[in-house]
């Protein structure tokens, strides 16, 4: 018994914490604690029961999630829209960020030129540009994609830049002395050694993109998970809000895990150049 | 060498501003959409004498400061505790990991139901945004402590508090600062998103209003204030970090 506990201490303690938390939550909504505290506290105990619009409860959320995913299927349309925005935004961020970062890493002068802009953009909470983007292109798909690009492009560009900077100088020198051109050098040395950096940047970009989905949809958007969350919030449908939040969290975790897997894969086939 | 960097960087910036100004002044692009550097400066100087503007600044600053400080006060001890006590970390890990996976701005609609559209919902979102990176960095700082130092201290029968104060805490400082810098960005993000989402005052509110009324110059000025704040906060933290580094004995260098 004891050995079993020690072997699985992490899982057991974690599960106990989560279960206690969920029960505490459920109890607030169902009035378990109000009933329990009735004898010592008297009428004051009613304070320990909270309205469902205020905190919802795990079982309500589970029921709502089941409804939205499998019975009415209402959430799939929102997921579809948000995924489209996310995919377009992240793809554009890669298309802009990788060439920019690689070029700025390779050409010193170009780096000097773009440095002030990257630093300024990095220090700004990029979401502050949202009203401007809306003024330019309206509240449609375009502004939502653009805010995702704006949020996600920096980690990608910065990691691409760092990747070029840390390429083994010996490799470059060897290639040069065998008179390899820039194109060959780039294809056979820089790009392969940049891959792990780019994947790390992609992991950050995914998180940023998730923020972009939500933030981009808070203004006048009619479809998408972020819009669903904010509409549910303004109607006090707390359980629906939680379903949306959990959906985004799950998607984020799944994507990051996917990138981690690819990272591990890449590390295996990559020749151990540095060693 | 460094001069070249300054020259090219500064030169590009100046050219960029000039082109921007010219595009707007020659009506090549409607200044309503892109404003121009001179217009932004104008709008900025007009705002400086506007009491409403200072009220917005105060509201945003309060949200940032309250939320950020609460995140430090709770995040650093929690991270240190989770790092030093294995059991506590097992209990808290699921919560920290879950919150870390959720972009905390998604919780805004809930925070507004709980705290209203005043300053406290923003303080809460700033807190939630900032606290997670702080906890995680403090935790990983403790975890990466030199095992040799710990073994050494134990073999000289140092007490737990002594070990904590003289080995674990100093070793964690750089990690905490990394977390604090990251958290500052998260906190600013929280201020902006919170105010764009629902608010009655604050710089984010000002930016959103300016956008609705096509006052592009005011909008840009607001964005610039956030940029400046981000730069200043990170520079301050860098300074502080160097200070802490200075008194720290150079233990790692021995190897």
Q: Is the pLDDT of residue B127 over 60?
A: yes
**Interface contact A5, partner B, CB < 8 A:** no
If one counts the domains in chain B, the total is 2
**Interface contact B117, partner A, CB < 8 A:** no
Residues B116 and B206 occupy one common structural domain: yes
Q: Phi-psi region for residue B27, left (φ > 0), alpha (ψ -120 to 50) or beta?
A: left
Q: Which residues of A touch B102 (CB under 8 A)?
A: 245-246, 248-249, 252
- The stretch A193-212 carries a mean pLDDT of 90
**Dihedral over Cα of A129, A133, A135, A139: its sign:** negative
Domain that holds residue B7: 1-34
- Does B252 fall in a domain? no
pLDDT at A274: 46
The residues spanned by each domain of chain A are 2-50, 70-269
pLDDT at A268: 65
pLDDT at A272: 53
pLDDT at B82: 92
Cβ distance of A9 and B193 shorter than 8 Å: no
Residues B80 and B19 occupy one common structural domain: no
pLDDT > 90 in chain B, percent: 59
Residues B28 and B46 occupy one common structural domain: no
**What's chain B's length in residues?**
255
Place of tokens 């604050």: B202
Residues B6 and B47 occupy one common structural domain: no
pLDDT at B245: 73
**Interface contact A146, partner B, CB < 8 A:** no
Residues B76 and B112 occupy one common structural domain: yes
For the entire predicted model, the pTM comes to: 0.89
> In terms of CATH, what superfamily is A70-269?
MetI-like (1.10.3720.10)
**Interface contact A154, partner B, CB < 8 A:** no
pLDDT at B248: 59
Q: Is the pLDDT of residue B46 over 70?
A: yes
Residue A224 backbone phi and psi in degrees, to 5:
120, 155
- Does B250 fall in a domain? no
Residues B5 and B131 occupy one common structural domain: no
What DSSP string runs through B69-82?
Answer: HHHHHHHHHHHHHH
Range of lowest pLDDT (A86-95, A246-255, B154-163): B154-163
- Does B253 fall in a domain? no
Residues B102 and B9 occupy one common structural domain: no
Cβ distance of A10 and B109 shorter than 8 Å: no
pLDDT at A82: 93
Question: Residue B111 is encoded by which pair of tokens?
Answer: 């925070």
Residues B124 and B237 occupy one common structural domain: yes
- Does B80 fall in a domain? yes
């Amino acid at each position: 018994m004891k050995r079993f506990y020690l072997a699985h201490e992490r899982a057991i303690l974690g599960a106990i914490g989560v279960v206690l938390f969920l029960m505490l939550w459920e109890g607030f909504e169902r009035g378990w604690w109000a009933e329990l505290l009735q004898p010592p506290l008297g009428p004051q105990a009613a304070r320990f029961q909270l309205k469902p619009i205020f905190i919802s409860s795990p079982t309500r959320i589970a029921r709502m999630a089941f409804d939205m995913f499998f019975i009415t299927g209402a959430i799939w349309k929102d997921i579809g829209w948000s995924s489209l925005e996310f995919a377009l935004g992240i793809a554009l961020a890669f298309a802009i960020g990788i060439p920019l970062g690689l070029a700025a890493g390779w050409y010193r002068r170009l780096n000097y030129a773009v440095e002030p802009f990257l630093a300024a953009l990095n220090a700004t909470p990029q979401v502050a540009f949202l009203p401007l983007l809306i003024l330019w292109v309206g509240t449609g798909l375009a502004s939502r994609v653009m805010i995702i690009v704006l949020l996600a492009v920096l980690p990608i560009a910065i990691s691409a830049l760092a990747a070029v900077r840390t390429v083994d100088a010996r490799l470059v020198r060897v290639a040069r002395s065998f008179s390899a051109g820039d194109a060959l050098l780039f294809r056979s040395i820089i790009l392969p050694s940049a891959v792990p950096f780019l994947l790390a940047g992609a992991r950050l970009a995914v998180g940023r993109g998730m923020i972009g989905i939500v933030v981009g949809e808070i203004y006048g958007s009619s479809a998408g998970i972020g819009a669903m969350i904010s509409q549910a919030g303004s109607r006090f449908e707390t359980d629906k809000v939680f379903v949306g939040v959990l959906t985004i969290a799950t998607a984020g975790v799944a994507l990051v895990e996917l990138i981690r897997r690819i990272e591990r894969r890449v590390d295996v086939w990559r020749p151990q150049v540095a060693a | 060498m460094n001069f070249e960097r300054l020259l090219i960087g500064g030169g590009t910036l100046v050219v960029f501003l000039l082109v921007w100004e010219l595009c707007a002044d020659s009506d090549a692009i409607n200044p309503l959409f892109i404003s121009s550097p001179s217009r932004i400066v104008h709008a900025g100087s007009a705002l400086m004498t506007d009491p409403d503007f200072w009220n917005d600044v105060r509201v945003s600053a309060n949200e940032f400061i309250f939320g950020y400080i609460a995140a430090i006060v709770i995040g650093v001890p929690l991270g240190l505790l989770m790092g030093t006590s294995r059991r506590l970390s097992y209990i808290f890990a699921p919560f920290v990991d879950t919150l870390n996976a959720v972009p905390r701005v998604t919780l805004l609609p809930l925070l507004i139901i709980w705290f209203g559209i005043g300053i406290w919902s923003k303080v809460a979102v700033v807190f939630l945004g900032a606290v997670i990176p702080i906890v995680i960095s403090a935790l990983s700082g403790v975890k990466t402590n030199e095992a040799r130092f710990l073994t050494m201290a134990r073999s000289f029968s140092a007490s737990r508090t002594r070990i904590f104060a003289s080995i674990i805490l100093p070793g964690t400082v750089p990690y905490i600062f990394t977390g604090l810098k990251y958290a500052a960005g998260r906190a600013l993000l929280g201020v902006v998103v919170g105010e764009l989402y629902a608010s009655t005052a604050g710089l984010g509110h000002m930016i959103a209003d300016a956008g609705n009324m096509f006052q592009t110059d005011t909008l840009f000025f607001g964005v610039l204030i956030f940029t400046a704040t981000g730069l200043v906060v990170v520079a301050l933290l860098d300074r502080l970090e160097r200070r802490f580094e200075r008194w720290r004995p150079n233990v790692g260098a021995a190897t």
